[in-house]
Homo-oligomer: A and B are copies of this chain.
């Protein structure tokens, strides 16, 4: 086990419905609460398992919606009651992570470095992950917003990219470089061109920064949002929390942290990249889930019969027998109240099924 990094705290935003994994993932039981790898641990649990050795006990803070707070606490008995922050309503990632930063600053003071890691990603390679975080914390202490740049395994069009510039040359962080900018998800040709330069890595949305630096950037970019979060954080561990939350939270600006901080700060030279040479996946759809798993079944293999359908991906999630005949590229997801039949090539379109059922008035299925 690695030793804990002094002053380092992990923030785990646990949100998002994972609609491209519907009907496995639902609004009321989203992706991060599911064991999608068959490991016996949910994505949230695996995320916390990966982080606790780096932070030490009490060093992980989960930020989630009020409707999921009980489920999150149930899945993470190793966390204390103060380690789960419940948002009254979704206000996007800047409010979630900014709240965590402000609370950490209140609780632990100016030296806190936070790392933000989504609750619903899959990482394989703890050692490389731990090394990247350690180097990143060094650069964060030096004042940078440090993003983890994942070694791309191919020209994916499903992820954004971060471009590395010159090495920072920091002691204890030999691989950390300046970030010269972020890109949105590219088309395949552009992605291939990116990789050919050797300068681009996947932007996995994981970053490290001093809480104080993050909040100062926020105060510069969005002063009202920064002030609101500071007011809430000051009241968080007091009897006033409920009153302040009720009054301030609904008015907070809804914005993603990438747009609020990462992009403008990168343009100003304040973002660094630490290379992460571990396997990472955001398990964005059933095709990526299928590629992640050792077999082609998530669940009880004996409940599945494939005939002329080798490689068909099946989730027998309702205790029923699933037969796939003549469709090698099929995806079949069976749940107690909904079954989805599609193909791997259509995996990115599964969100449209959620839209379709919503349009049909079937909120019960979402």
**This chain: how many copies in the complex?**
2
CA of A99 to CA of B334, assembled, Å:
46
Task: Give the distance to chain B from A339, nearest Cβ to Cβ, in Å.
Answer: 5
Of the candidate stretches A148-156, A195-203, A221-229, A345-353, the one touching chain B is: A345-353
Given contacts A320-B336, A325-B350, A325-B352, contact A305 B357 (CB under 8 A): yes
User: Do B320 and A353 touch (CB < 8 A)?
Assistant: no
Contact check, A342 vs B325: say whether CB atoms are below 8 A apart.
yes
In the complex the two chains form, is B339's CB within 8 Å of A325's CB? no
Contact B339 A339 (CB under 8 A): yes
CB of A269 closer than 8 Å to a CB of B: no
- A323 contacts chain B at the CB level, 8 A cutoff: yes
The answer to whether A324 and B302 touch (CB under 8 A), given A307-B356, A308-B349, A356-B307, is: no
Q: In the assembly, what is the distance between CA of A325 and CA of B360, in Å?
A: 16
Closest residue on chain B to residue A314 by CB atoms: B341
We find that the number of chain A residues with CB closer than 8 angstroms to chain B is: 35
Asked whether, in the complex, the Cβ of A341 is within 8 Å of the Cβ of B341, the reply is: yes
Main secondary structure of the interface of A (DSSP, over half): mixed
A343 and B342 alpha carbons, distance in the complex (Å): 12
Cβ 8 A contact of A341, one of B324, B336, B362: B324
**Which residues from chain B contact A326 at a C-beta distance below 8 Å?**
342-343, 345-346, 349
- Asked if B324 and A342 sit within 8 Å, CB to CB, the answer is yes
Q: In chain A, residues 294-319, which have Cβ atoms closer than 8 Å to a Cβ of chain B?
A: 302, 305, 307-308
- Least distance between A362 CB and chain B CB atoms (Å): 7
Q: Which residue numbers of A lie inside 8 Å of B, CB to CB?
A: 23, 302, 305, 307-308, 320-327, 330, 332, 334, 336-343, 345-346, 349-350, 352-353, 356-357, 360, 362, 365
